[in-house]
Amino acid sequence: MTPSRFISVAVPRPLEGLFTYRIPQDSPEKIPVGSWVEVSFGRGKTHAFVVEPEKSESEIPKDLEISKIKELGSLHPEVVLPEDVLKLCRFASDYYQAPLGEVLNVAVPAASLGLRSKRQEAREKDWDVARRTAGKQAKVVELTSTQNECVKAITDAASSPTDSSAPFLLHGVTGSGKTEVYLTAAREILARGKSVLLLVPEIALTPQLHERMETGLGVPVALWHSAMAAGHRRDETAAIRSGKIRVVVGARSAVFAPLRDLGLIVVDEEHDVTYKQEDRVRYQARDLAVFRGKIVGCPVVLGSATPSLETLERVREGKYKRLSMLDRVGGGQLPAIEVVNLCEEPRIHGIQAPIAEKTLNAIRDTVARGEQVIAFLNRRGYASSLICEDCGDVPQCKKCSLALTVHKKSRLLKCHWCGYQEKTPDVCVKCHSANLNPTGAGTESLEEQIPQLLEGIRVLRLDRDQITSASRLEKTLDDFRQKKADVLLGTQMLVKGHDFPSVTLVVVILADALFSWPDFRAAERAYQILTQVSGRAGRASHHGRVLVQTFQPDHPVIETLTGKSSMEDFIANERNLREVLSYPPFGRIARIRVEDEANAKAQKMSEALVQGLGTSGGAIQVLGPSPAHIERVEGVFRWDFVIRTKEIRSLHQAVHQVRKMANDKQIEILIDVDPYGMG
Ligand code: ADP
Ligand code: ZN
Ligand code: ZN
C-alpha cells in the first residue's frame, strides 16, 4: 500500500489556522500550491486554497487523530494563486492580523473560480482590442521634458533589478499630465513583454478611463472592481491568469489581480482614503501595492497632487524617490482661491445652505458668460436633520446613535450610516407639534433652491442618491460636459479626476463640514479634498476661480489653500502634531472593537481585554476602552480601544495577545491595524 498523503488548506472563513485533509489514494499528481480544492467543512462543503505542499503522515500536526482526518473532495489543479499573490496574502494576513483564509477570500473571491456563476467554464471573450477600439484614435501627445524625465526614471528602474525596489512618489499638481506619464511608462513595460497594474479610487473607474487606457495602450484592459458580475469576473480572471490580458485597472481589490510578470504598478491618487478597506480584512491597498512591488521586484509609482503624510515621510527618509511635476501642461494656471467669510459676508435669505451674496453673484456672472460652475457640498439629502421648533426633538435612527437625514423627494428620513429609513412624520412624535423644520443644507435642497435664486439656471446633481450605477454617472458627466446644465452640484463623487474644460468657477459651499471628521487625519484629508475640488476649475486655457465658503477663515487648511501659509508649513505642522502624539507615520496604532447588543456587556468585554493586555512595561500604550464615535450601529453597541506603540513589531505582538485572549474568552473582536477614521 502506498503511504497516505495529506494536505493542509486555508478555508475562506474568518478562522485561524489551516485544516488538514487526506489526499485520495487514486490521485496521482502532486497538488500544486496555489490551486484550490473542495472539502467538507463543518456540516457543509466549501472551496479551500492549497497554500503548502503535501505532507506525509509524520509531518502532520501531532494533535490530529489520523483516523479522523477527512478526505479531500474534488481537486482543481490550475494555479489560481500565483506565487507573488500568495506571498502578498501571507503578508496581509500577518500585517493586518487577519486569518489567511479570509485574506485569500478577498484576493480570490468565489466568483473568480466560477463558483457563483451558472457557467463553470470561462467563456472565450473578444479580447481583440484592435477591433474594439477601431476608429478611436489614441490622442497622441508629445510629452514635456519633465514628463519624459519621469517616464525615464520609472522605466530605468524597471530594467535595473537592484534599483527597482524604491517606490516613486509622482508628485504632480492636477492637470500636470500624470496620466500621460503612466500611459507612456506602461507602453514601454508592455513592449518588454511584462504586465501592468493601475489602481485608482473606486469612483474613478469609469468606461471613459477604460477607453482612454485601451486606446492609449492598444491592448485589452480589464476593468476590475468589487461590483463585477460573477460571470464577468470569472472570464476576466481567466484571461488575466492566462496572460491574454496584461493590463488591469481597478479599485483596491485589484492589488491581488493574478497578473503574470508584473512590470509596473501605479497607484493613482495614492492619498485617497478609499484604498482602505473598511470591513472584513481591513487592508490598505496602496501599502499592499508597495509590498507587491517589492516581492515582484518592479517599480511602484504613487501619484498624487496632495500626497499622504505617510508617503511624504518615506520620501523624507529616503525610502521613496520623489518625481515632481509642478506645472500644468500647456501652462494652464492653477486657479486663484478666495475665501468667503460666512461670519461677515452678507448672506442670501430664504435658503437652507449658507450662501453669500458674493458667491451667488459669481455663479450668476459665470453662467452669463456661458461658462460652467461646480458646487461642492459634503452632505447629501435635503437637510442634515429635522428639528421640532417647539420641543427641540431631532429624530434619530432607531438603531444607531445618529440623527436622521431629511430626503425631501422621497419623503423619507434616512440613516446615512446603516441605511435605515422611515416616512417623514407630519407632527413631532414627542409633542405633536406640526412645527417640524429641516435644518442644515444637503445637496438635494441646494438643487432645489439654486434655481429659485437664479432664474433659468440648470442644475445637475451628483451624489450617491442620484447616481446609482456607472452608466448613470457617465451620463450625468456627459450631459454636463455637453453643457446641458450650468451647475454641477455634488458630494465627494465629483471630486475625482473628471475633466470639464468649461468649468471656470468652483464653489465650496461649506468647508467646515470637512474639519470635524473624528480622525487625526481630518485636516490632511480636508486639505486634499479641497485641493482636488479646486483643481476642477480652469483646467483648459480659461482662468479659474475658486470660492471657499467657511465660518473659520483662519483654519490652517484654509490658510494653506489660499497661500497665506505654505503647504510645507502645513505639512510640517501636521507632522509635528503626529510626532508628539505618536500617531502614524511616527507611531503605530491598531484599533480593537468589541460589539454587543448589550452595552454593558460590550463595555465589560473590552475592559477585560485591556486589563489582560497590560502595558508590557511601557512598550505599548492603550487608549480606552471607550464607546466608538458612533456608539451604536444597527442596534449593536461598539466599544473601542486603541493600542499604540513605536514599532510595528510590538504592535503586532500586542494585537496577537489580544486575539489570543479574545479567542480564549470567546469574545469576537474586530481588528483594524493602521485604522482610518476613528469613527
Ligand atoms: P493629471 O493626471 O496630472 O491630472 P492628465 O495626464 O490627465 O493630468 O493631463 C491633463 C490634460 O493634459 C489631459 O487632457 C491630457 O491629455 C493633456 N496632456 C497631458 N500631457 C500633455 C502633453 N505633453 N501635451 C499636451 N497635452 C497633454
Ligand atoms: Zn416636538
Ligand atoms: Zn442607522
d(CA 339, CA 565): 14
Q: How confident is the model at residue 419 (pLDDT cuts 50, 70, 90)?
A: confident
Mean pLDDT along residues 628-647: 89
| Dihedral angle sign, alpha carbons of residues 165, 171, 177, 178 | positive
* Same domain for 355 and 445: yes
Asked whether residue 625 is assigned to any structural domain, the reply reads yes
Give distance in angstroms: CA of 177 to centre of ligand 1: 4
Question: DSSP string spanning 492-508?
Answer: GGGTSS---TTEEEEEE
Which of 200, 205, 19 is closest to 99 using CA atoms? 19
Task: Name the residue of 178, 329, 499, 533 whose CB sits within 8 Å of the most ligand 1 atoms, as the mutation to test its pocket.
Answer: 329
Q: Determine the pLDDT at residue 475.
A: 87
Most confident residue range from 134-148, 294-308, 403-417:
294-308
CATH number assigned to the domain comprising residue 637: 3.30.70.360
Do residues 342 and 306 both lie within one domain?
A: no
Q: Are residues 324 and 337 in the same domain?
A: no
Distance CA 32, CA 54 (A): 9
Question: Residue 282: inside a domain, yes or no?
Answer: yes
Do the beta carbons of residue 424 and residue 385 sit within 8 Å? no
Q: What is the pLDDT of residue 439?
A: 82
The closest residue, in CA terms, to atom 25 on ligand 1 is 141
At 334 the pLDDT is: 72
Task: Please enumerate in sequence order all residues whose Cβ is within 8 A of that of 454, keeping only pairs 6 or more positions apart, or say none.
Answer: 360, 363, 364, 367
Res. 139 pLDDT band, cuts 50 70 90: low
pLDDT higher than threshold 60 for residue 135 = no
Q: Which residues pair with 8 in a beta bridge?
A: 20
Residue 167 grid coordinates: 517606490
Give the distance (Å) from ligand 2 centre to CA of residue 392. 6
In whole angstroms, give the CA distance from residue 469 to residue 595: 33
CA-to-CA distance for 488 and 460, rounded, in angstroms? 5
Indicate if ligand 1 lies below 6 Å from the C-beta of 329.
Answer: yes
- Ligand closest to 425 (CA) is 2
Given pLDDT bands bounded at 50, 70 and 90, which one contains residue 381? confident
Q: How confident is the model at residue 247 (pLDDT cuts 50, 70, 90)?
A: very high
Residue 162 pLDDT: 65
CATH number at residue 65: 3.40.1440.60
The C-alpha cell at 30 is 502532486
At which of 298, 314, 330 does a domain end? Answer: 330
Residue 349 belongs to a domain: yes
Nearest CA to ligand 1 atom 17: 177
What Å distances lie between residue 620 and 317, 644, 650, 658, CA to CA?
A: 24, 6, 7, 13
- Burial of residue 409 (CB within 10 Å: 0-12, 13-18, 19+) is exposed
Q: Where are the beta strands (DSSP E) in 287-335?
A: 300-304, 321-325
- Per the structure, the count of domains in the chain is 4
For residue 369, the enclosing domain spans: 332-383+440-574
Q: What is the pLDDT of residues 421-441, one digit of tens each?
A: 899 999 999 999 998 888 887
What's the rounded Cα separation, in Å, for the pair 518 and 527? 15
Integer Cα distance of 98 and 346 in angstroms = 54
Report helix, strand and coil shares of the chain as percent, to nearest 5.
35, 25, 40
Residue 665 inside a domain? The answer is: yes
Q: Tell me what percent of the residues of the chain surpass a pLDDT of 70.
A: 93
Cα gap 449→509, rounded to integer Å: 13
pLDDT at 298: 94
Q: How far is CA 50 from CA 70, 120, 162, 300, 471, in A?
A: 16, 20, 32, 29, 39
DSSP letter, residue 356: B
- pLDDT, one tens digit per residue, over 512-553 is 888 877 678 889 999 999 988 888 886 655 678 999 999 999
Q: Is there a single domain that holds both residue 592 and residue 551?
A: no
The best mutation among 147, 179, 183, 304 to test binding of ligand 1, ranked by most ligand atoms within 8 Å of the C-beta, falls on: 179
Same domain, 472 and 504: yes
* Position 542 in a domain: yes
Q: How confident is the model at residue 20 (pLDDT cuts 50, 70, 90)?
A: very high
Whether 109 and 228 share a structural domain: no
Whether 332 lines ligand 1, by a CB cut-off of 6 Å, is no
Report the pLDDT averaged over residues 356-365: 96
Q: Is the CB of 177 under 6 A from ligand 1?
A: yes
Q: Could you tell me if 366 and 375 are in contact, meaning their C-beta atoms sit under 8 angstroms apart?
A: no
Q: Is the distance from the beta carbon of residue 172 to the nearest atom of ligand 1 less than 6 Å?
A: yes
- Inform me whether the pLDDT recorded for 118 exceeds 80: no
Average the pLDDT over each of 110-119, 237-246, 363-372 and give the range with the smallest value.
Answer: 110-119
Q: Which residue has 421640532 as its cell numbers?
A: 388
What pLDDT digit, counting tens, does each position of 213-242 carry?
Answer: 999 999 999 998 877 788 888 888 989 999
* Cα 439 to middle of ligand 3, angstroms: 19
Same domain, 326 and 337: no
Confidence of residue 497 (pLDDT cuts 50, 70, 90): low
The CATH number covering residue 444 comes to: 3.40.50.300
Q: Tell whether 323 and 340 lie within a shared domain.
A: no
When pLDDT is cut at 50, 70 and 90, the band that residue 208 belongs to is confident
Place of cell 492603550: 622
Mark whether 517 and 464 lie in a shared domain: yes
In a domain, 12, yes or no: yes
Query: CA 516 → CA 511, 523, 640, distances in Å?
Result: 10, 9, 20
What separation in Å is there between the alpha carbon of 199 and the centre of ligand 1?
Answer: 18
Single out the residue of 229, 220, 276, 225 nearest to residue 254, CA to CA: 225
532 CB within 6 A, ligand 1:
no
- Taking the CA of 436 as reference, the closest ligand is 2
For residue 51, what pLDDT band results from cuts at 50, 70 and 90? Answer: very high
pLDDT in tens, 437-473: 888 878 888 888 899 999 999 999 988 777 777 778 8
Give a yes or no: residue 420 inside a domain. Answer: no
Residue 266 confidence (pLDDT) above 90? yes
pLDDT at 425: 93
What is the three-class DSSP state of 584? coil
Residues 592 and 670 sit within 8 Å (Cβ to Cβ) = yes
In a shared domain, residues 559 and 502: yes
569-577 contacts at long range (C-beta below 8 A, 24 or more positions apart): 570/527, 571/309, 571/312, 574/309, 574/523, 574/524, 575/309, 575/313, 577/520
Judge whether 100 and 225 are in contact, CB under 8 Å: no
Mean pLDDT of the region 631-653: 90
| pTM of the predicted protein model | 0.88
Closest CA to 415 of 401, 429, 426, 431: 401
| Ligand found nearest the CA of 535 | 1
Question: Residue 565, Cβ neighbours under 10 Å: how many?
Answer: 14
Judgement on whether residues 278 and 314 belong to the same structural domain of the protein: yes
Q: Ligand 1 in contact with 180 (CB < 6 A)?
A: yes
Pocket test for ligand 1, best of 147, 180, 324 (most atoms within 8 A of CB): 180
Record the cell numbers describing residue 24, joined without a space: 485520495
pLDDT band at 138 (very low <50, low <70, confident <90, very high): low
The reported pLDDT for the residue numbered 360 is 95
Q: Are residues 90 and 19 in the same domain?
A: yes
Number of residues that this document lists for the chain: 679
Percent of the chain residues past pLDDT 90, beyond the cut: 52
Domain presence at residue 255: yes
Per-residue confidence band for 346, with pLDDT thresholds at 50, 70 and 90: very high
Pocket test for ligand 1, best of 137, 141, 146 (most atoms within 8 A of CB): 141
